[in-house]
Amino acid sequence: PEALGLLLGRARAAVLCALDEPAGTTALAHLLGLAPSSVSAHLSVLRGAGLLTSRRYGHQVLYERTPLGIALAASE
């Protein structure tokens, strides 16, 4: 979304909007065509801003939107 991209940056907005379902760093990187390290950095910032939560599922960390993240992503 254009307005969200202006606020967060295009790549970070894409990561937030791609989390319709909980996903890990590698899956998001593949989906968005970004390097896993770049996605990881974006996820850390979004989580620090309270837009995402993370939980461990086996060896994987899954990220999902918080209610605030859902509201921002829906504002597209």
**Domains in the chain with CATH codes:** 2-74 (1.10.10.10)
Angle at 33 between CA 58 and CA 69, to 5 degrees: 65
Predicted TM-score (pTM) of this structure: 0.90
Predicted confidence at residue 76, as pLDDT, reads 58
| Confidence check: pLDDT of 5 > 90 | no
Predicted confidence at residue 44, as pLDDT, reads 95
What pLDDT band is residue 3 in, cutting at 50, 70 and 90? confident
Closest to 18 in 3D by CA, of 49, 42, 41, 45: 42
CA separation for the pair 58, 6 (Å, rounded): 36
- Residue with structure tokens 């791609």? 18
- What's phi and psi for 22, nearest 5 deg? -55, 140
pLDDT in tens, 30-70: 999 999 999 999 999 999 999 999 999 999 999 999 999 99
Higher pLDDT, 5 or 47: 47
